[in-house]
């Protein structure tokens, strides 16, 4: 076989391989979505949003899970945004050339993909220690602990996005502020943050999308609760979440439980996907 | 004032990382103390007699992550090359966006799909015919032995592969796009085929980044919980064949920590520390490689 023919054959095989790889990937992922949408929409009804789930999933809805997820994600994001924006600001504005800056940036990147179950495990260990020291074992599991675990998972994403978005702001903006006599801190808060506010929002949305589907960190922190959130004091009691309900129902016998699990999975996926889409759309605008 | 608030928040991240490790160390200490090194190489996991060895789940974690990488890596490279080189331009951006979005689908959805759809199908249409076509005493018979319920090490690896595939494809695509157009065009101008360009120009150009991206996928597969727990069968001890049920560190913790007390609990946390150190090493190396590529 001549050299040129050999190369053309190799190229042909490679081309077919790439098409095939994409075909296989699309096939599996399409199959997954087909099942998710088919089974998920079939179980959708008003009851899903108005009734609590029963422990076996034979009747009722998913209200306790939906409320619990929203509350814990919201609290987690409040925490993540406070810490994350400040930390990201420090990395972008103040850390120039410092060793600690390098270390924080690096470890933040590692935390970005740390196993979520370990974050939940660590939070639950600390809660356990505190609760034992206070002789109050009834508070071992709580919505607050779940929110803390979720918040810790979202923080690295907010840090990363904040730093990226602040770095995009032109240094002329900072110089102009300082030339007018404003302090560095004032410039950052009044000018840079304002100019980058869409970018900062993006970080929040991406963080939210990441944590709203997390199951593993809630297993030993929020635990789950057949009742939905009523009053503020419910925060220190076990709390349900959509992924936790899915996890319970998957292993339950009975058609209804499985149907509820699929509907729950659909709701979680739609939430994650739509928040991700909005976040990406805003990020594109912020980058231009 | 403001500056020190920012500084405190940044150092808080270091505290978080140290705090996670500290918690796992404190919680796992009794188990390490009791079993010493045998904790790492013994595969006896016996809660009724309070004897624990983590070798089974550790090996299970490594095998599933490795197998899933083996399946996902060629596919991810193929998808990335397709999107950069072969795909019509109008389709490339939408497909790339879809791939990016898929990387964010919650892992429990992948796990559920594996449990309800893939595992039953696999058991009936792949596992059973294969195991029947070999003599159970032969090498291949033993290699493919297992209960035909679809919950085994191989299924778990497939689900993990489907999960990390969009993630890795998305990283590879960005790496390929970072190759300067002039370099690629120069190669094409010399008469290179697409295969030559990818093999001899693009991949060498982003080599380190690709190793980093691969390890990022590996790190995700190591620590994944929900995609694995439903489909691995949850048996302690070493998996004896490709279709044997097994366990990973994360799946064991997810299954048992809720009911565990005393030494059992400590052994699970100790296993968590092992997982933490493994993923930390892999992710740190991955980040170092990716950062040196500067995309």
Which has more pLDDT, A229 or B72?
A: B72
For B277, nearest residue in chain A (alpha carbons): A114
Which of left, alpha, beta for A227 (phi over 0: left; psi -120 to 50: alpha)? beta
Q: Is the predicted pLDDT of residue A41 greater than 60, yes or no?
A: yes
Domain shared by A232 and A201, yes or no: yes
**Chain-wide mean pLDDT for chain B?**
92
Domain shared by A227 and A204, yes or no: yes
Q: Tell me the three-class secondary structure of A71-113, residue by residue.
A: HHHHHHHHHHHHHHHHHHHHHHHHCCCCHHHHHHHHHHHHHHC
Partner residue facing B10 (CB), from A90, A110, A184: A90
Domain shared by A4 and A107, yes or no: no
Averaged over A6-31, what is the pLDDT?
93
pLDDT on residue B294:
62
Domain shared by A196 and A235, yes or no: yes
With beta carbons under 8 A apart, name residues in chain B contacting A115: 222-225, 250, 275-276, 279
Tokens 């799909």 identify what position?
B113
Domain shared by A74 and A28, yes or no: no
Averaged over B280-284, what is the pLDDT?
94
pLDDT on residue A128:
92
Q: What is the CATH number assigned to the segment(s) B2-293?
A: 1.10.3720.10
Q: What angle do CA A31, A34, A36 make, to 5 degrees?
A: 110
Domain shared by A13 and A113, yes or no: no
Taking the CA of residue A257 and the nearest CA in chain B, the distance in Å comes to 13
Domain shared by A23 and A80, yes or no: no
Percent of chain B whose pLDDT exceeds 70: 99
With beta carbons under 8 A apart, name residues in chain B contacting A141: none
Domain shared by A128 and A15, yes or no: no
What gap in Å lies between CA A276 and CA B110, rounded to an integer? 18
B168-207 as b/e: b if 16+ CB within 10 A: bbbbbbbbbeebeeeebeebeeeebbbbbbbeebbbebbe
The pTM (predicted TM-score) of the whole model is: 0.94
A6 touches chain B (CB under 8 A): no
ipTM of this predicted structure: 0.93
Range with the poorest average pLDDT among B173-177, B180-184, B195-199, B289-293 = B289-293
Domain shared by A162 and A239, yes or no: yes
Q: Residue A246's domain spans which residues?
A: 45-287
Instruction: Give B53's pLDDT tier (boundaries 50, 70, 90).
Output: very high
Partner residue facing A117 (CB), from B9, B112, B253: B253
pLDDT on residue A54:
85
**Would you list the domain boundaries of chain B?**
2-293
pLDDT on residue A254:
85
Query: Dihedral, CA atoms, B224, B225, B229, B230, nearest 10 degrees?
Result: -90
For B279, nearest residue in chain A (alpha carbons): A114
Q: Is the predicted pLDDT of residue B114 greater than 90, yes or no?
A: yes
**Chain-wide mean pLDDT for chain A?**
92
What's the number of domains chain A is made of?
Answer: 2
A231 touches chain B (CB under 8 A): no
Q: Is the predicted pLDDT of residue A19 greater than 60, yes or no?
A: yes
Question: Which CATH number covers residue A83?
Answer: 1.10.3720.10
């Amino acid at each position: 076989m001549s050299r040129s023919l050999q190369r053309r054959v190799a190229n042909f095989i490679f081309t077919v391989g790439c098409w095939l790889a994409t075909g296989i990937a699309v096939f599996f992922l399409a199959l997954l979505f087909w099942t998710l949408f088919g089974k998920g929409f079939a179980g959708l009804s008003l009851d899903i949003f108005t009734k609590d789930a029963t422990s076996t999933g034979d009747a009722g809805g998913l209200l306790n899970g939906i409320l619990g997820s929203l509350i814990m994600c919201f609290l987690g994001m409040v925490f993540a945004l406070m810490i994350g924006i400040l930390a990201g600001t420090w990395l972008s504005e103040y850390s120039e050339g410092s060793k600690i800056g390098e270390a924080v940036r690096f470890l933040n990147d590692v935390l970005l993909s740390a196993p979520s179950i370990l974050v939940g495990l660590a939070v639950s260990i600390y809660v356990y220690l505190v609760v034992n020291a206070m002789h109050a074992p009834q508070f071992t599991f709580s919505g607050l602990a779940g929110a803390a675990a979720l918040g810790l998972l979202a923080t690295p994403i907010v840090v990363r996005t904040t730093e990226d978005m602040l770095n995009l702001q032109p240094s002329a903006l900072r110089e102009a502020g300082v030339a007018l006599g404003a302090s560095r801190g004032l410039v950052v808060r009044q000018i840079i943050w304002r100019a980058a506010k869409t970018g900062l929002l993006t970080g929040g949305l991406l963080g939210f999308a990441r944590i709203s589907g997390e199951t593993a960190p809630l297993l030993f922190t929020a635990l789950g609760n057949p009742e939905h959130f009523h009053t503020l004091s419910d925060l220190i009691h076990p709390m349900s979440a959509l992924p936790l309900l899915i996890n319970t129902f998957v292993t339950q016998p009975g058609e209804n439980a499985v149907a509820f699990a699929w509907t729950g999975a659909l709701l979680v996926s739609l939430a994650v996907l739509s928040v991700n889409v909005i976040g990406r759309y805003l990020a594109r605008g912020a980058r231009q | 004032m403001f500056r020190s608030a920012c500084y405190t928040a940044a150092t808080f991240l270091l505290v978080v990382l140290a705090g996670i490790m500290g918690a796992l160390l404190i919680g796992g200490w009794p188990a390490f103390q009791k079993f010493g090194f045998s904790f790492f190489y013994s595969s006896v996991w016996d809660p009724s007699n309070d004897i624990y060895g983590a070798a089974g789940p550790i090996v299970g974690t490594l095998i599933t992550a490795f197998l899933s990488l083996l399946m996902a890596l060629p596919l991810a490279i193929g998808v990335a090359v397709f999107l950069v080189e072969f795909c019509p331009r109008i389709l490339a951006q939408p497909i790339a966006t879809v791939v990016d979005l898929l990387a964010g689908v919650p892992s429990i959805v992948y796990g559920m799909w594996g449990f309800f759809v893939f595992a039953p199908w696999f058991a009936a249409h792949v596992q059973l015919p294969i195991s029947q076509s070999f003599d159970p005493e032969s090498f291949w018979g033993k290699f493919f032995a297992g209960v035909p319920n679809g919950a085994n090490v191989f299924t778990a690896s497939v689900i993990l592969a489907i999960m990390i595939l969009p993630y890795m494809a998305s990283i590879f695509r960005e790496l390929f796009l970072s190759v300067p157009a002039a370099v690629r065009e120069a190669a094409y101008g010399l008469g290179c085929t697409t295969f030559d360009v990818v093999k001899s120009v693009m991949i060498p150009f982003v080599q380190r980044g690709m190793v980093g991206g691969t390890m990022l996928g590996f790190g995700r597969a190591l620590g994944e919980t929900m995609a694995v727990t439903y489909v691995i069968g949850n048996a302690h001890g070493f998996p004896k064949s490709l279709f044997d049920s097994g366990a990973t560190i994360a799946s064991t913790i997810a299954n048992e920590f809720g009911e565990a007390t005393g030494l059992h609990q400590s052994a699970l946390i100790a296993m968590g520390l092992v997982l933490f150190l493994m993923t930390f090493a892999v992710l740190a190396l991955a980040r170092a490689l990716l950062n040196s590529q500067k995309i």
